[in-house]
Amino acid sequence: MNKLLTVVIPCFNEEEILTTTFKKLDIILSNLIKQNKVNSNSKLLFVDDGSKDSTWNLIKNEEEVNSHICGLKLSRNYGHQNALIAGMSKAIQYSDMIITIDADLQDDETVIYDMVDKYLSGVDIVYGVRDDRQTDTQFKRNTANIFYRLMNKIGIELIPNSADFRLMSKRAVNELLKFKERNLFLRGLVPLVGFSTDKVFYSRKKRMAGNSKYTLGKMLKLAWNGITSFSIAPIKLILFLGIFIVLFSIIMIVYTLIQHLRGHIVAGWSSIIISIWLIGGIQLICISIIGEYIGKIFNEVKERPRFIIDIDDYSNRF
């Protein structure tokens, strides 16, 4: 019997592009079914992450005319990563493989064919990897490269130029869902699962309509969350910074004593005040970094749910 595929598509205020997304992904899924590569009950699961526009109404309307499409509505906006986990948690109950892709389809949906072929050949995780970032600004390309190099330096395994467009087998998703942390960074968690992996390459497209939901602020937040969720390198950096400041202070004390013995009194309150401000600023930064880790511990120990489902139309289809 053919394996059942569910494509999980997180949505947040995507009314401008959803109609096109429905059509494009339905063509892909229908072709896979015709080619007998996936089960005829395979679905496109659209996860509404607390949208304020007509996203959910569009999903509901499409459900009525297309048996491939179904929706999952979260009670509020929980964020992109939690929306993905919500969709995967529901889909894994019925699916043999799951593909995640963003609703804007900037990731090339046509490589889904290649992903399924690699899964059928025995691969558990297939990463979608961008081999062309020409649609990104120069600033975004440069900062992305710096981010991947930084993560590699501090020992965090990431797939360069790969976001959340990937295929995972049932057993891979089951293992991923065993990671219970609330501070989600799926790009770092998925490589920890292990199993056999492969890649498919594609060129990133321009967004069809609307604006990207990943603003600079959200991207920086995701990057910082990735660093602090997977590494204590920032805390180690604080240690080295403290050691450096102490050594520098000892050198300055010795220098000042020598100057004093030689009769060269250095006058100037400005340098003293600046030094105090500098040390004070460094201390505040260090305390803030430590506080970030304590805050994450605080959020984890409360064990609040990562998402709450309001309406589940996916399970009703089986």
The pLDDT tens digits of the residues spanning 98-145 come to 999 998 888 888 999 999 999 999 999 999 988 865 655 666 666 666
How close are the terminal C-alpha atoms of the chain, in Å? 16
More confident residue, 25 or 270: 25
- Which position has the token pair 């053919």? 2
- pLDDT value, residue 25: 94
* Separation CA 109–CA 202 (nearest Å): 9
How far is 33 from 210, CA to CA, in rounded Å?
31
Q: What six digits make up the tokens of 279?
A: 């040390």
CB atoms within 10 A of CB 247: 10
Do residues 77 and 40 touch, judged by C-beta distance below 8 A? no
- Residues 6+ positions from 304 with CB-CB distance below 8 Å: 182
Which of 187, 186, 193 is closest to 171 using CA atoms?
193
Percent of the chain whose pLDDT exceeds 90: 36
Residue, of 78 and 302, whose pLDDT is higher: 78
Residue 289, pLDDT > 80, answer no
Task: Tell me how far CA of residue 194 lies from CA of 28, 38, 217, 246, 314, in angstroms.
Answer: 28, 24, 31, 43, 28
Q: What is the pLDDT of residue 156?
A: 67
Highest mean pLDDT among 188-192, 211-215, 265-269: 188-192
Per-residue pLDDT band for 166 (boundaries 50, 70, 90) equals very high
Q: What angle do CA 8, 109, 165 make, to 5 degrees?
A: 50
pLDDT at 245: 72
Rounded average pLDDT over 13-18: 89
pTM to 2 decimal places: 0.72
- Predicted local distance difference test score (pLDDT) of residue 279: 75
pLDDT tier at 191, thresholds 50, 70, 90: confident
What pLDDT band is residue 162 in, cutting at 50, 70 and 90?
confident
Q: Taking CA 6 as the corner, what is the angle to CA 107 and CA 166, rounded to the nearest 5 degrees? A: 35
Compare 247 and 210 and report the one with higher pLDDT.
247
Query: At which residue do the structure tokens 């063509």 appear?
Result: 27
Cβ-contact 103, 16 below 8 angstroms: no
HEC profile for 242-273?
Answer: HHHHHHHHHHHHHHHHHHHHCCCCCCCHHHHH
Nearest to 14 by CA among 48, 44, 43: 48
At 248 the pLDDT is 74
pLDDT(277) > 80: no
As a whole number of angstroms, the distance between CA 100 and CA 85 comes to: 10
**Gap between the Cα atoms of 290 and 58, Å rounded:** 44
Q: What is the pLDDT of residue 241?
A: 73
**Cα 215 to Cα 217: distance, rounded to the nearest angstrom:** 5
Quote the mean pLDDT of the chain.
80
Q: Please tell me the distance from the alpha carbon of residue 284 to that of residue 278, in angstroms, as a whole number.
A: 10
